[in-house]
Chains A and B, each alone.
Chain A
Amino acid sequence: MNEKELISRLRRGEEPAFKLLVENYQDRVYYSVLNILHNANEAEDTAQETFIQVHESIHGFKEESSLATWIYRIAVRKALEKIRKQKNRQRLHSIALWWMPTEEKSIDAAYLNPGISEENKEKATKIFKAISELPDNQRIAFTLIRVQGMKHEEASEIMKLSRKALESLLSRAKENLKQKLKYYYNS
């Protein structure tokens, strides 16, 4: 089944088409958000939210980009929303410690990411921690390209950025990382 046919079947609300779409994209969507969020439970939750959004918004999909790019764009936006909610919750928690429930902290990305070999886990944890402290756009650009190995063209389409803007984000992310990692290696 080609993409056009899949889209029109999705628009008609055919369940087998939705199942096919999920099966085709679930691994890459999950892997992308896992690399951004560094938490397996939140990655699954975000991946689910992505497909729910795809299901609800397929009628509004203008087909200006490929279906894959549109899905990853939703996934990245959902992951960013999650990060912002976490930050807000942490801010609230620091203000109202007595009221808010204790925040579950699990940023041991290397442990949670079984794709990393045993001997690299300690180093990967430090790098993931440094990446998680980058500004949102730098974090997403760096994760998609340098961690996940996505092509520049695809990443710039997903992030709706020009190639030049993306290169600039990557370069700033690298500078920030060099600074942060020097601190981590020395501490």
Chain B
Amino acid sequence: MKHLPEDKLENDLTIFSNMKEVGSPNFFYTRLTARMEDESISRVTGLSINPILGLCALSMFIFINSLLIEKDTDIVKSNTDKHIEALAAEYDQTITN
């Protein structure tokens, strides 16, 4: 037997013809309006940020900041060297490393 016979399936499906219709849960409208209010508040305050998007934004923020900090460190370092050299020249000194 490759398949279930047609009449067996039809017979089994009769259980749905006697199935009682189930109503929605109590206080459906109250819960619905509460959810709608919540959603409109979060839309206004921007709290409904998708957690995945939030995580991506945070990673991006950390990445950009670390790049900027690294770049700033180089600038500060080269500025400091130039400063010392200028100061040394002013007082007619030589710098030996």
Using CB atoms and an 8 Å cutoff, list the residues of chain A in contact with chain B: 19, 22-23, 26-27, 29-31, 34, 40, 44, 47-48, 51-52, 55, 113-117, 120, 123-124, 127, 146-149, 174-175, 177-179, 181-182, 185
Question: Whole-angstrom distance from the CB of B63 to the nearest CB of chain A?
Answer: 21
B4 touches A182 (CB 8 A): yes
CB distance from B13 to the nearest CB of A (A): 6
Q: A44 to B21, alpha carbons, bound, how many Å?
A: 15
Pull 11 A–B residue pairs with CB atoms less than 8 Å apart, ordered by A: A19-B29, A27-B21, A31-B21, A34-B22, A44-B28, A51-B32, A117-B18, A124-B16, A178-B9, A179-B4, A181-B12
| B36 partner residues in chain A, CB cutoff 8 A | 52, 55
| A44 to B26 Cα, complex, angstroms | 11
| Chain A residues within 8 Å of B39, by CB | 52
- Known: A26-B28, A47-B24, A181-B9. Contact between A146 and B3, CB under 8 A? no
User: B15 in the interface, Cβ–Cβ < 8 Å?
Assistant: yes
State the Cβ distance, A37 to closest chain B Cβ, in Å. 13
Chain A residues closer than 8 Å to B4, beta-carbon distance: 177-179, 181-182, 185
Closest to B18 in A: A117
Q: Report if B25 contacts A (CB, 8 A).
A: yes
Compute how far the CA of A148 lies from the CA of B20 in the bound complex, rounded to whole angstroms: 10
Contact A30 B35 (CB under 8 A): no
